């Protein structure tokens, strides 16, 4: 079966750095996405990794190790508005492409 695991909740301080981990066991792996979702809203795209390594995008970076089935999202210089859920999502190919999501990590940024 397909399985994606990430911590349920995390708390961090404004201005700090936080790392949100994600492990996955899937078949037909075709790439990993990170999305941000505020309560009651649709997810918004943050980053994409298909090759091993680090992808940096402003305050956000994402890392992938396909051999370990592991990814993390790194948020720097945390701001209060970063309080949201962060969803790890894996795109798979099983006769067609589809994206499956982890349960999400709720991040609370405190002053």
Partner 1 sequence: GAVVSQHPSWVICKSGTSVKIECRSLDFQATTMFWYRQFPKQSLMLMATSNEGSKATYEQGVEKDKFLINHASLTLSTLTVTSAHPEDSSFYICSAGPIGQGENSPLHFGNGTRLTVT
User: Under the rule (CB under 8 A), what is the footprint of partner 1?
Assistant: 30-31, 33, 35, 40-45, 48, 50, 87, 91, 93, 96-104, 106
Cβ at position 33, least distance to partner 1 in Å: 6
Cβ at position 15, least distance to partner 1 in Å: 27
CA-to-CA distance for 45 and 102, rounded, in angstroms? Answer: 14
Cβ at position 85, least distance to partner 1 in Å: 8
81 — phi, psi (to 5°)?
Answer: -70, -10
- For 91: left if phi > 0, alpha if psi spans -120 to 50, otherwise beta; the answer is beta
Nearer to partner 1, 19 or 44 (CB): 44
Nearer to partner 1, 17 or 97 (CB): 97
**Contact between residue 86 and residue 9 where contact means Cβ atoms under 8 Å apart:** no
């Amino acid at each position: 079966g397909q399985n994606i695991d990430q911590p349920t909740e995390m708390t961090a301080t404004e201005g700090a750095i936080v790392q949100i981990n994600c492990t996955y066991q899937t078949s037909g792996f075709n790439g990993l996405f990170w999305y941000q979702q505020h309560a009651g809203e649709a997810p918004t795209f943050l980053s994409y990794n298909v090759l091993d390594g680090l992808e940096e995008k402003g305050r956000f970076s994402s890392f992938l190790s396909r051999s370990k089935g592991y990814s993390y999202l790194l948020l720097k210089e945390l701001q209060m508005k970063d309080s949201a859920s962060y969803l790890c999502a894996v795109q798979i190919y099983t006769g067609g492409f589809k994206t499956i999501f982890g349960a999400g990590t709720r991040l609370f940024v405190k002053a």
